[in-house]
Amino acid sequence: MNIEDVQTRLTKLKARITELSNAYYTKDAPLVEDSEYDQLYRELEELEAEHPELVTNDSPTQKVGGEVLSDFSKVTHDVPMLSMGDVFSLEELEEFDQRMQKNIGNKTDYNVELKIDGLALSLVYENGKLVQGSTRGDGVIGEDVTANIMTITDIPKELSEPLTLEVRGECYMPKTSFGKLNDERENEGLATFANPRNAAAGSLRQLDPAVTKKRNLSTFIYTLVNADDFEVSTQEEAIEFMKKLGFHTNPSSKTINDIAEIENYIELYQEKRDSLEYGIDGIVLKINDLALQQELGNTVKVPRWEIAYKFPPERSETIIKDIEWTIGRTGVLTPTAVMDPVQLAGTTVSRATLHNEEMIKDKDIRIGDTVLLHKAGDIIPEVSKVVIAKRPEGLEEAPIPTNCPYCDSELVHLEDEVALRCINPKCPAQIKEGLAHFASRNAMNIDGLGPRIVEQLFQKEMIKDVSDLYKLTFDDLSQLEGFKEKSINNLLTAINNTKNNSLEKLLYGLGIRHVGAKAAKLLAERFKDIDTLMNASKKEVADINTIGETIADSLHAYFSNIEVQTLITELKDVNVNMSYTGSTTINSNNEHFSGKTIVITGTLANYKRKELAEQLEELGAKITGSVTKNTDLLIAGEKAGSKLDKAKSLDVAIINEKMLDGYLSDTQSID
């Protein structure tokens, strides 16, 4: 290429990589697979190496990570959080080793560890107590996510020794949690996460810590920033030191000084990759000697003393034979590709979720297409791309249903949803799914009524909705396969016992969109009976602490449906309890805590912090881990530290333990 062609190609590459980087790092919604991004990035690096005079400050090769979202406070990293250089072949890895030997003058030990598919995280401790958590951001300025990281159980809130230090590592989402989260989002008609890394990033950057807590995040800590302060001289010693302090470190880390052994390590974990509970996309080599790391230093973007070897993408090619549409209890239709069976990541795959109509259109997937498959997060088979060169001539676009394949009702797109949805509450497919949910443990808890029995009852036309469960007789159940007298009586007793359940069990069992078990409890406590709730205004519902407009809108839409109103009447007719019979946990008259955002800090003589937080939450408070302009109250024990200083600077109300005793007994008031 001549210089003009190079300039044109550089401009296109930088624009495309910036677009992909923004989607990946900032929006947590990647547009392409990692391997495709890596290929473009490598091309940019090579062109810039050949033409250094064309390198500009705005090039992606000169930047780290993504933007800092405006919704979070900014944190400046005293020591920048840099990216890592990547290699994609064993030959390149050997070249890195030879370069290190040349720079150092002899062979050296490497600390080898797995490259976790997660989000870089910094944790700061003062006198042994966690005071700040932040993301990498652009490498120099990150996002303050302290309140969210306080909900991650394997991050120690207090160290085994009262040390002041900073550690760094990776926040990740376990594969089981990733699969569960995507299932839930798909059922709600929401866009699914592409991989565990983006799911972890999206979860850690939530404005509501309660959402982060539900996502079940974990961490692996691997960097001790101020190692010199503790006479730690190697990466291996640093990991052991951090482990003793209570941090979660990865047990696979080991020290190796032979490139052949490193290649054996790579081969081992490529084989074990699918069996791990967390996602990995390669291995990381670090010079083990921390003094040597300092001596070798960094480029503008990456350390010279470490490198990441990226596993090659594992893909398989197959042909789509059909697209099936299934429906969940919330009415969301999910398309599934039916394919010629193919081996992928150690398993035989013949089906892959297509998630929603939008994905089919975006990737232009057609029945009869040859496609490449990969496993999202190493667990979920997913179509990577269509092999357009192998598309048969005249292949028509995949048909998108306009009517429900089960009840023929017209399908709709609800606001802000990517999914097609059937909103007919009498849809048989939804009813079957809904009946199983109604009987589940956290709902009405009908012991012995599982999906298999529900399917039999439905096929024999004994039930059409949940109210029919309470009309079943001994003779009805005797027609079911394998049901004898004892099992029949047990199920009838179990069904009858649920008539006395408190209202929140019924509300959750009805499967109202966005109404989980906790929201159902709050609603039942507040409105006491079903009629009062059905007649409540959207504002009355939304004003309940932690409920909000989304749930209020969903409830209003649900109870406005004539068929839902008929169902409630039928449930009343069979004597299902419609009132709240539990204890009231929220004291709406407690002006000290209800609706307040509260931070607890320091040592309390008569309270355990976790139990106090739970008690205050029951009184309507929201407990967070960091003091901000939105904090209403700081509860300060002995040795309160920096949070007390910050609360004073922001003019936040502050109380001590004695005042707390008074507020809990409601004998004092906040000025």
CATH number reported for the structural domain that contains residue 384 in this entry: 2.40.50.140
CB 143 within 8 A of CB 135: yes
Give CA 157 to chain center in angstroms.
21
Rounded to an integer, the average pLDDT of 600-623 is: 81
Percent of the chain with pLDDT over 90: 42
Rounded to an integer, the average pLDDT of 236-242 is: 96
Query: Does residue 100 share a domain with residue 24?
Result: no
Percent of the chain with pLDDT over 70: 93
Residues identified as active-site: 115
DSSP 404-428: -TTT-PBPB--TT--SEE---TT-H
Asked, for residue 584, whether it belongs to a domain, the answer is no
Query: Does residue 507 share a domain with residue 622?
Result: no
CA distance 177 to 6: 45
> Strand, helix or coil at 50?
helix
Q: What is the pLDDT of residue 111?
A: 97
Which residues are paired to 166 by β-bridges? 124
CATH code at 649?
3.40.50.10190
Q: Among 257, 287, 310, where does a domain finish?
A: 310
CATH code at 239?
3.30.470.30
pLDDT band for position 387 (cuts 50, 70, 90): very high
Comparing 668 with 489, the larger pLDDT belongs to 489
Q: 0.75 exceeded by the pTM? A: no
Q: Among 310, 332, 360, where does a domain finish?
A: 310
Q: What is the pLDDT of residue 340?
A: 92
pLDDT band for position 300 (cuts 50, 70, 90): confident
pLDDT band for position 309 (cuts 50, 70, 90): very high
Q: Among 41, 62, 83, where does a domain finish?
A: 62
Asked, for residue 403, whether it belongs to a domain, the answer is no
Asked, for residue 114, whether it belongs to a domain, the answer is yes
Q: What is the pLDDT of residue 583?
A: 61
Q: What is the pLDDT of residue 37?
A: 75
Q: What is the pLDDT of residue 577?
A: 96
Q: What is the pLDDT of residue 313?
A: 72
CA angle 586, 587, 589 (to 5 degrees): 145
* DSSP H helical ranges for 370-499: 428-439, 451-459, 474-477, 485-497
Rounded to an integer, the average pLDDT of 361-369 is: 94
Identify which of 469, 514, 475, 502 has the alpha carbon closest to the alpha carbon of residue 185: 514
Query: Does residue 170 share a domain with residue 78?
Result: yes
CA distance 90 to 262: 10
pLDDT band for position 669 (cuts 50, 70, 90): very low
Q: What is the pLDDT of residue 584?
A: 56
Asked, for residue 590, whether it belongs to a domain, the answer is no
Residue 589 has pLDDT above 70, yes or no: no
CA distance 171 to 169: 7
pLDDT, mean over the chain: 86
* DSSP H helical ranges for 172-299: 175-187, 196-204, 209-214, 235-245, 259-272, 290-296
Six token digits for residue 567: 């169902």
Query: Does residue 614 share a domain with residue 534?
Result: no
* Helices and strands counted in the chain (H then E): 24, 21
Query: Does residue 245 share a domain with residue 99?
Result: yes
Rounded to an integer, the average pLDDT of 129-146 is: 91
Q: What is the pLDDT of residue 519?
A: 86
Q: What is the pLDDT of residue 548?
A: 81
Domain span including residue 498: 428-573
Six token digits for residue 200: 């972890």
Asked, for residue 69, whether it belongs to a domain, the answer is no
Asked, for residue 579, whether it belongs to a domain, the answer is no
Taking the chain, what is the end-to-end CA distance rounded to the nearest angstrom?
A: 74
Q: What is the pLDDT of residue 587?
A: 46
Comparing 380 with 478, the larger pLDDT belongs to 478
Query: Does residue 329 share a domain with residue 234?
Result: no
Query: Does residue 382 share a domain with residue 286?
Result: no
Comparing 643 with 29, the larger pLDDT belongs to 643
Six token digits for residue 670: 């906040």
Query: Does residue 147 share a domain with residue 283?
Result: yes
Asked, for residue 397, whether it belongs to a domain, the answer is no
Q: Are strands 597-601 and 420-421 parallel, antiparallel or unpaired?
A: unpaired
What's the DSSP call for residue 52?
A: G
CA distance 147 to 134: 10
CA distance 585 to 617: 9
Identify which of 177, 216, 201 has the alpha carbon closest to the alpha carbon of residue 72: 201
Rounded to an integer, the average pLDDT of 229-242 is: 95
Asked, for residue 413, whether it belongs to a domain, the answer is no
Rounded to an integer, the average pLDDT of 361-387 is: 86
pLDDT band for position 477 (cuts 50, 70, 90): very high
Strand order in the sheet with 633-636: 622-624, 597-601, 633-636, 653-655
Q: What is the pLDDT of residue 25?
A: 64
Query: Does residue 605 share a domain with residue 555?
Result: no
CA distance 90 to 595: 57
Lowest mean pLDDT, pick from 268-272, 543-547, 584-588, 618-622? 584-588
Query: Does residue 323 share a domain with residue 303?
Result: no
* Contacts (Cβ under 8 Å, ≥6 apart) of 519: 546, 547, 551
Comparing 191 with 621, the larger pLDDT belongs to 621
Classify each residue of 121-157 as buried b or exposed e, where b means 16 or more C-beta atoms within 10 Å of its C-beta. Answer: bbbbbeebbbbbbbbbbbbbbbbbbbbbbbbbeebbb
pLDDT band for position 570 (cuts 50, 70, 90): very high
Rounded to an integer, the average pLDDT of 490-494 is: 93
CA angle 20, 21, 26 (to 5 degrees): 115
Residue 578 has pLDDT above 80, yes or no: yes
CATH code at 23?
1.10.287.610
Residue 368 has pLDDT above 70, yes or no: yes
Lowest mean pLDDT, pick from 126-130, 310-314, 528-532, 580-584? 580-584
Query: Does residue 249 share a domain with residue 118?
Result: yes
38-90 confidence digits (pLDDT tens)? 788 888 888 887 887 888 877 877 766 555 555 678 899 989 998 888 998 89
- Count of domains for the chain: 5
Say how many residues make up the chain: 671
Query: Does residue 144 share a domain with residue 242?
Result: yes
499-530 confidence digits (pLDDT tens)? 999 999 999 999 888 888 888 988 999 999 99
pLDDT band for position 29 (cuts 50, 70, 90): low
